Amino acid sequence: MEWDWAFVIEILPTMIEGVKITILATLLGSVLAAIIGLGLAILRRSKNAFVSKPVGFLADFIRGTPLLVQLYFIFYVLPDAGITLSPLVAGVIGLGLHYGTYTAEVYRGGIDNVARGQWEAARACNLSAFQTWTRIILPQALPPMIPALANYFIAMFKETPLLSAITVLELMNQARSIANYNYRYIEPITLVGAFFLVISLVSVIALRWLERRYGRIEER
Amino acid sequence: MLNLKTMSASIGAIALSALALSVPAKADEALDKLKAQGFARIAIANEPPFTAVKPDGTVSGAGPDVARAVFKKLGVADVVASISEYGAMIPGLQAGRHDVVTAGLFMKPERCRAVAYSEPILCDAEAFLVKKGNPKGFKSYKDIAVDAKATIGAPGGGTEERLALEAGVPRDRVIVVPDGQSGIKMLQDGRIDVYSLPVLSINDLVKKANDPNVEVFAPVVNAPVYCDGAAFRKDQTTLRDEFDKVLAEMKKSGEFEKIVEPYGFSAKAAMSTTREKLCAG
């Protein structure tokens, strides 16, 4: 097996097509996970046990089963119930749901960290539940969570090759189809590794910056 | 930490043994090695009737059955199969993960350059699986290329994927389908318009799925009839020649026919052509 630069240049445009899909899936998945996580965290705090218990069970259920199984379920089983999603949409929903249950824990930690007095003060000022959340609690809870959330989004990015199992033509699937066509694995798979490494490293630098910016709120 | 250490150690060991295996060995040595180890490692795809794994784990299908019979006569007691993607078979063979590929990997010039094929074993034409009545009227890969919205499903690295791409279907409309069940499911769900496999594979799949809403179109217009052979590493032509010798005897004695015909393959088709003709394209 020898490394062939001409082959690398030949396959590079196709690989970049794959990188685009990978990044798109990660970004959409992150937005979805951020929203789902917040929803889960707030519902789980509900005083009504008929809301908090089922939501808690659902979150534990999703977190306790493998993402790959969930993807298969969304892609291959849901059509039986009349819901046929495109591969990318199914993949984004899978990533968003799965990581939403993790980010929900981050939100919970952040919300619990807001001092009790703040809740009491909000009630004393006669604020509604909606006002309490949007004006008092979340503005204090969110900034310290940002680094932890970003950490999960980097983890999600590295899970996107799983989407190749449901025929999304992302980076890994492009590499496999190139390898299948040319009987060469060394260049395409090495490139997959290189792309992931470069993007992860850049993300980690951004994460460090976020940590410095938002991480230690008390010290500011 | 300890776990990590033992893991990386075992990964290292696997990498080392893979390296050791890829060192070119002389072919008669290769046969001796297979005899000593008592089995040959074959690559299959689990695509009946070419290759099949029964629920109890036993390997059958026309390809492995022929290979098992030939190897038995060569003094190798059994075959051990590992399931692989079509495109991964030749790299896997070259990397020393398999001793031979017997999976309905059709002979094509570029594959002939990469491996040493035996004489033809299993022959089949290409087929389309479409919705009942073939609503879009697809008869050839070209028809799919012309329709800007049509999508075709095919196994990754299989002959059908290549035929579709060569007919001008753009990459994003050739969906790589992991296995037959997923393929038929995706057709039923309307994710793909056509699922393409060899005729006998499609027939087997349709029989099992028993769905009145799909139908088979075969043979595909302008797609040639292909034959596969047992694929060996390029440097093991002596082993290949031994295999060929036994295969030729079995073809002559009628034993070959007895193995492949129950699966629906035509022994005559395999016997009426040669590796040389098929590899020339």
Q: How far away is chain B from the Cα of A167, in angstroms, using its nearest Cα?
A: 6
Instruction: Judge: B171–A180 Cβ closer than 8 Å, yes or no.
Output: no
What is the predicted pLDDT for the residue at B5? Answer: 53
Give a yes or no: residue A114 inside a domain.
yes
Give a yes or no: residue A220 inside a domain.
no
What is the predicted pLDDT for the residue at A220? Answer: 43
Contacts of A73 in chain B (CB under 8 A): none
What is the predicted pLDDT for the residue at B1? Answer: 44
pLDDT at B54 over 70: yes
pLDDT at B25 over 90: no
User: Which chain B residue shows the shortest CA-CA distance from A186?
Assistant: B91
In chain B, what are the domains? Answer: 22-123+228-265 (3.40.190.10), 126-217 (3.40.190.10)
Q: How far away is chain A from the Cα of B72, in angstroms, using its nearest Cα?
A: 30
Q: Which residue has the higher pLDDT, B26 or B115?
A: B115
Contacts of A14 in chain B (CB under 8 A): 171
Q: How far away is chain B from the Cα of A109, in angstroms, using its nearest Cα?
A: 28
Tell whether B140 lies on the interface with A, counting CB pairs under 8 A: no
Can you list the alpha helix ranges (DSSP code H) found in B23-140?
Answer: 27-37, 62-74, 86-94, 109-114
pLDDT at B7 over 90: no
pLDDT at B22 over 80: no
Contacts of B178 in chain A (CB under 8 A): 165, 167
Domain of A31 in residue numbering reads as: 5-215
- What contacts A127, CB < 8 A, 6 or more positions away? A135, A136
Instruction: Judge: A181–B157 Cβ closer than 8 Å, yes or no.
Output: yes
Give the Cα separation of B84 and B63 in Å (integer). 14
Give a yes or no: residue A111 inside a domain.
yes
8 Å CB contact between B102 and B67: yes
Amino acid at B231: A
Cα separation values, B94 from B43, B55, B104, B142, Å: 12, 29, 18, 33
pLDDT at B27 over 60: no
Phi, psi (5° rounding) for residue B103?
-135, 15
Tell whether B113 lies on the interface with A, counting CB pairs under 8 A: no
CATH of the domain at A80: 1.10.3720.10
Instruction: Judge: B162–A165 Cβ closer than 8 Å, yes or no.
Output: no
For the segment B164-175, the average pLDDT, to the nearest whole number, is 93
pTM: 0.79
Encode pLDDT of B249-272 as tens digits.
999 999 999 999 999 999 999 999
Burial class (CB in 10 A: 0-12, 13-18, 19+), B15: exposed
8 Å CB contact between A145 and A105: no
Interface predicted TM-score (ipTM) over 0.85: no
Nearest to B90 among A173, A177, A183 (CB): A183
pLDDT at B163 over 60: yes
Give a yes or no: residue A198 inside a domain.
yes
Encode pLDDT of B196-205 as tens digits.
999 999 999 9
pLDDT at B9 over 70: no
Give a yes or no: residue A98 inside a domain.
yes
8 Å CB contact between A47 and A185: no
Nearest to B156 among A79, A177, A185 (CB): A177
Instruction: Judge: A183–B161 Cβ closer than 8 Å, yes or no.
Output: no
As a whole-number percent, the residues of chain B with pLDDT over 90 amount to: 73
Total count of domains within chain A:
1
User: Which chain A residue shows the shortest CA-CA distance from B93?
Assistant: A183
Nearest to B176 among A84, A173, A184 (CB): A173
Residues of chain A with pLDDT under 70: 1, 215-220
Give a yes or no: residue A155 inside a domain.
yes
Tokens of B137: 């009227």
Size of interface A-B (CB pairs under 8 A): 55
Burial code of B146-172, b = ≥16 C-beta within 10 A, e = fewer? ebeebbbbbbbbbbbbbbbbebebebe
Give a yes or no: residue A199 inside a domain.
yes
